[in-house]
A and B are shown apart, each in its own frame.
Chain A
Amino acid sequence: MGAVATLPLTRRQLLGGGALLAGGWVLGQAVGHWPLASEASPFLGSSARHTLQAAFEALLPAEADAATLVEGVDRFLASGDPVLGGQLRLALHVLEHFGGAGPFAFRRFSRLPVARRAAVLGAWQRSAFDPKRQIAAAVRKVAVFTWWSSPASWPSIGYDGPWVSR
């Protein structure tokens, strides 16, 4: 009987411990990137901004200029409520590091093909796990509100815009 046999651990506990360590590593990666605000990104930081752009590309029609829209969101967040902005930034970090994780592979969300990103967000929206649904809902809300409230989207839907300036 070797030393391993004397360990008071079951196979299930060993697997659980491994999963915990892996989860901790991924969480550490996420937290390690936060905050990363820079001159080019006034609030979100380059990593979260990259993730948000990847989500916009997956959720919005092809004619939406995701980079420009995300730049506007970042500027708005910089002048807005830092608590709300911080929640979005955290949600984006979790999405980035857990959104591409599969049973046999790990890829960052932003490095997935566009169709796969859309599928991930759809799956999170329908997930049985509450935090996944919350993150998917938050990211979706930012994306669709930003695009459909922008005048660039209006011609394609026949919306003639505000009356006050007429």
Chain B
Amino acid sequence: MIRAAKDVPGGFVTRTEVCVIGSGAGGGVAAALAAEAGRDVIVLEEGPYVPKEQMTQREEEMYPLLYRNGGNQMTDDGGISVLQGRVLGGSTVVNMADVEPIPEAILAHWRAHFGVDRYGGDEVSEAARACAAAIGTNRIAPEDLNRNNALLVQGAEKVGLSARPFDQNRVGCIGSGYCLVGCAYDAKRSVALTWIPRALAKGALVQTEARVERLEVDGTRVRAAVGALVDPISQRIRSLFRVEADEFVLAAGAIHSPLLLLASGIGGPAVGRNLSLQPQAPAVALFRDDVVLYRGIPQAAFTDGTQTATEAGGLGGFRIEGISATPGMAATVTALGPEALAMFMGRFRQAAAALCLVPDRPGGRVTRGRYNRPKIRYTLSDAAHATLKEAVRTAARIYLAAGAEQVLLPFPEATPVRSERDLAQLDALRFRSASSPIISAHPQGTCRMGPDPSTSVVGLDLKVHGTENLRVLDASVFPTTSSSHTMLPTMTFAWLGSRDLLA
């Protein structure tokens, strides 16, 4: 059963065997596996349940409904927009449906540098295969690339790079292009359409619009999750709840899982530290004829080979990935002044766009701010800054090679790039917070796993250090950035952690 806040106007107090906090890529997997193992399961999700009939494809309606802070969650300095879903199914409802496993070299990196050796490569691969199958993973066919993504592939080949289509979890996609504001056709096989129904079929209770404020801890055991049932848009409190359980799974994501641990006074000194954001900067090009980037599969191709994965250094380099946006979001993620923006939007149909993604090193931190809200502290390191600029330079070259009239760089001071010569200006430009439009969709690392409680938050079994019955099963456990896209890695470790929980 799925229950909203209005269904329990007086709040509730209950007891269960497994309480799962969060219903995204981690929580959904844990809920399904626990329910299928015969456990009594309650899922607490802060966002609402939004079925396809309510997906209107209107930005001003869907961002407030589906995203945390309506899509306005920012780092403390206003520099990076951290996009996260806050809806039943979590970010898997609003992501670009890209399915990427954890590279073997990254697992080796974690083993060598962080002592993460509990799960062998075969176990991880088996879990990844099971999770990928559960969400209908398939490779995007080259003929399904829209012109925006096809231009990226063509341009990349002309500058000597290769680009290829993503693996995706869309089935029966009709190419409307509205992935970012929720699929109105149930083609994107999000957690809300895959793992959650499995949990529901085995009797799990899903309570939406339930914001967990803290965990009640008694010695080494978590006794209860307490919080408020809230209005999904205004966040105003309607009533209160308390859920006691034998086992707790925390899967609120890399920003809110550490926040809850901090609010509960558990987890140790490493809670909230080691945040990676994988910053992404847009590169936009204008062509002579129509591109219509907002139709078709939005993010379908990426540069292959510009990113590295090594045992010594983890994930490095950069990626350039095709991207689309509806008009409001497209206007927001440029750095253009009023006149230039009006010109750009006037040629919206001729625009092509890509995101330049850099797998950064852990360095940010989540702390508790006012009103128990997260404070996301993050500074772009010199290395990430240089790599991001190199990625933007490469994207501009790709577009010029593909025949673009001009490329617009993500700096307010930049002039349009019409030839390779114009790229020299990049040497003097710097990304500055709240000036260049940088986004993040893959926060990780703030409840790092590891054997040492002074440098990690969860042990190798994914239990919070010093607790017996609380596991973190989301992207916050990764010691360093796990992959360019975190949905499948998160599911993989949630699968492994759930298996341990149920053993």
Which A residues are within 8 Å of any B CB, using their own CB?
58-61, 76, 79-84, 118, 122, 125-126, 130, 133-134, 136-138, 141, 144-150, 153-154, 156-159, 162-164
Contact = CB atoms under 8 A, between A and B. Distances in A.
Given A134-B434, A148-B345, A122 B412 contact: yes
B327 interface: yes
Given A125-B412, A133-B78, A134-B77, A149 B59 contact: yes
Contact of A80 (B233, B332, B338): B233
Interface string B303-347: 000000000000000000000001111111001011001100110
Given A118-B338, A156-B346, A159-B327, A83 B371 contact: yes
- At the interface, is chain A mostly helix, strand, loop or mixed? helix
B476 to A, nearest CB: 23
B338 A59 contact: yes
26 contacts: A58-B338, A61-B338, A82-B236, A83-B373, A84-B70, A118-B337, A118-B338, A125-B435, A133-B432, A136-B434, A137-B434, A141-B72, A144-B341, A146-B328, A147-B331, A148-B330, A149-B58, A149-B328, A156-B346, A157-B327, A158-B349, A159-B326, A159-B327, A159-B348, A162-B178, A164-B57
A79 B345 contact: no
B69 A81 contact: yes
Given A61-B338, A81-B70, A130-B77, 6 more contacts: A138-B78, A145-B59, A149-B59, A153-B345, A157-B345, A164-B55
B338 A60 contact: yes
Contacts of B184: 163-164
Contacts of B233: 79-81
A153 B346 CA distance: 10
A152 to B, nearest CB: 11
Interface residues of B, number: 45
Contacts of A146: 60, 328
Nearest to B73: A84
Interface in B216-238: 233-236
A133 B435 contact: yes
